[in-house]
Amino acid sequence: MLNQNFSPENLKKFLHSKRDVRKLKKQNNGQDEHSILTNTSYEIDSSNFTFKSLSSSILKNKKIVRIRQLKETIILRKLNDNLKRIYGVKQSNRREITKQVFVLLKEPNPLYIVRLDIKSFFESMDLNRVLLPITQETLLSPTSKKIINALRSNPVFPLHIPRGINISSTLSEIHMRKFDHIIKNQPGVYYYARYVDDIIIFLHKDFLITHKLEIYKHLPDGLKTHRKKSKFLPINCRCEIKCVCVNNCRCRVKCDCLPDPNKDITLDYLGYNFKFSDIPKIPRNTSSKNVVVTLASRKVKRIKTRITLALLDHIKTPNFSLLKNRLLFLTGNCEFNIKGEFKIRSGIYYNYPLLNHNDPALLALTTYLRKAVHSKKGPFGKALSNVLINTQRSELGRLSFISGFKNKITYKMSEEKLSAIKECWKNA
């Protein structure tokens, strides 16, 4: 049975690293961690418990909620763990989703692909509506409910699910469960996946109109799809628009359509760009469709922005070691520990394993990096010349996204180093 108690012993489990311990002591006048956590547990049990370190800021026109005191962050970590365990919440696996999408796109079957993006996902979820069933049910402990009420009664807390705190993703997943279940079990749907606000559905072609209505009908109140980012993509024979076959199309025996690269379809999903034929028919002597996978242009633009910001930060505050670590982080992969136990690998290969080392995007990024590092003209180049000597430019110019991907170059990084590396990208 799940122990939902906010005891000192339970709270201690959510000190994820030695860095957490040091920070906790520093914020509490050097007290030992047991005393701090004991006092925190007593505060939670008091009748007038409140969060005292909540703050908010605006980033890209969206409100971000932060917690300054680590002891209050630990409370939320425990609350989040209670919610996830009680409601069986598991974050969708991005890698598994994209791998499955790639496999399905290669199948030579007529189908429809529905790709939806929910507009202002967190901001569109009314907090009271999300929390009502959770607070009415008896699954969550009274103390956990009290903490939730202390959060939403805080004047800093918005009326919608906020960005910036760990329970937001968990609450949104709980709120979307009914929708996920309904759409996944619709007749004709043979694959459904949602990663936060990005939805993809594969369905048999004659169910499209029905499913359009069902999707919009069952979206939770307040949620709307982003029309510019949403797509309804038909994959069927051009000469058989009126075909009524369900899967394994019999009409294809008479079909004389041939793949035409000029009519290929592109689909951006979870950082990838998939390019594939608009018809299910495949060339002779092949068993599957050809699907070209590249890094999405939006992701390329983001990485280029991070390269530029790293160099600008170096111009502002010269620190070659930090600059080099930032560019190693971007061009390669890193390994770090979570909670001091679980090893996580992240980076250009581990985040995008479906790519090929010959991907033009990797070459474009490498070229961009080298041109930026060796720039000597204009205000940017002249400013960079003042803080980078030629040997340093040469050292950074040897870094390559292609090599980082192909050779799976991986660096071990501590939590402190990762935090310093990401500091200049907070708004990017």
Tell me if 136 sits within 8 A of 228, measured CB to CB: no
Q: Model confidence over 107-126: pLDDT tens digits?
A: 988 888 999 999 999 999 99
Quickly state the pLDDT bin for 330 (edges 50, 70, 90). very high
How many Å apart are CA 33 and CA 44, to the nearest integer?
16
Q: Which residues pair with 115 in a beta bridge?
A: 200, 231
How many Å apart are CA 316 and CA 383, to the nearest integer?
9
pLDDT at 241 > cutoff 70: no
Tell me if 70 sits within 8 A of 23, measured CB to CB: yes
Q: HEC string of 26-55? A: HHCCCCCHHHHHHHHHHHHHCCCCCCCCEE
Return the number of other C-beta atoms located less than 10 Å from residue 21's C-beta. Answer: 16
For the chain, percent of residues with pLDDT exceeding 70: 93
Query: How far is CA 303 from its chain centroid?
Result: 15
Pairing of strands 410-412, 333-338: parallel
Question: Letter for the amino acid at 276?
Answer: F
For residues 133-153, average pLDDT = 95
Tell me if 145 sits within 8 A of 132, measured CB to CB: no
SS3 422: helix
Show the tokens assigned to 76.
């939320």
Query: How far is CA 66 from its chain centroid?
Result: 19
pLDDT value of position 86: 95
pLDDT value of position 287: 77
Residue where the block lists tokens 């307040």: 222
pLDDT value of position 196: 95
SS3 209: helix
Answer yes or no: pTM beyond 0.75: yes
Question: Max CA-CA distance within the chain?
Answer: 80
Looking at per-residue pLDDT, the higher value among 2 and 428 belongs to: 2
Identify the burial level of 316 via C-beta atoms within 10 angstroms of its C-beta, where 0-12 means exposed, 13-18 middle and 19 or more buried. Answer: exposed
159-173, 203-217, 269-283, 403-417: which range is least confident on average? Answer: 203-217
* Average pLDDT of the chain, as a whole number: 90
How many Å apart are CA 4 and CA 20, to the nearest integer?
22
How many Å apart are CA 10 and CA 74, to the nearest integer?
10
Query: Minimal CA–CA distance to 325: which of 421, 414, 230, 256?
Result: 421
Tell me if 293 sits within 8 A of 355, measured CB to CB: yes
Q: Model confidence over 62-117: pLDDT tens digits?
A: 999 999 999 999 999 999 999 999 999 998 999 999 999 999 999 988 888 999 99
Helix axes 70-87, 18-27, angle to 10 degrees: 130
